[in-house]
Amino acid sequence: MPATTRRWFTDEFKLEAVRLIRASGRPVAQVARERGISDNILSRWRSEQQPIESQGGTRPSVRTEQDELTRLKRENETLRKERDFLKRAAACFARESP
């Protein structure tokens, strides 16, 4: 069997495909065929887009928020470790003081 390569689609391509479903009133399968993608993928994009639009955002803005949240969680963990280390160091120095 030949190895298949994973295809990547831009956010603009995904948004345009979902917009076509809504604007044209055509079935998902037909729009997917015209775009050269699976109808399952297009259905998933549509279901992913609905909560994003209900919050008044766009796919890139949600991704940016998720990236920022991930970065802040990492930074928070680093700061927590540094704080714990300094607490232990301060306790050691306090025991050594006369």
Q: How much is the pTM?
A: 0.51
Residue 83 domain boundaries: 11-96
36-57 mean pLDDT = 81
- Cα→Cα distances 96→82, 87, 88, Å: 21, 15, 13
Question: Has residue 2 been placed in a domain?
Answer: no
Backbone φ and ψ for 26, nearest 5 degrees, come out as -80, 160
Structure tokens at 30: 């037909």
Task: State the DSSP code for 37.
Answer: S
Question: Has residue 1 been placed in a domain?
Answer: no
Question: Has residue 43 been placed in a domain?
Answer: yes
CA distance 26 to 93: 73
- Provide the pLDDT confidence category of residue 15 given band limits of 50, 70 and 90: confident
- Provide the pLDDT confidence category of residue 93 given band limits of 50, 70 and 90: confident
Question: Has residue 37 been placed in a domain?
Answer: yes
Total number of domains in the chain: 1
- Give the whole-number percent of the chain exceeding pLDDT 90: 27
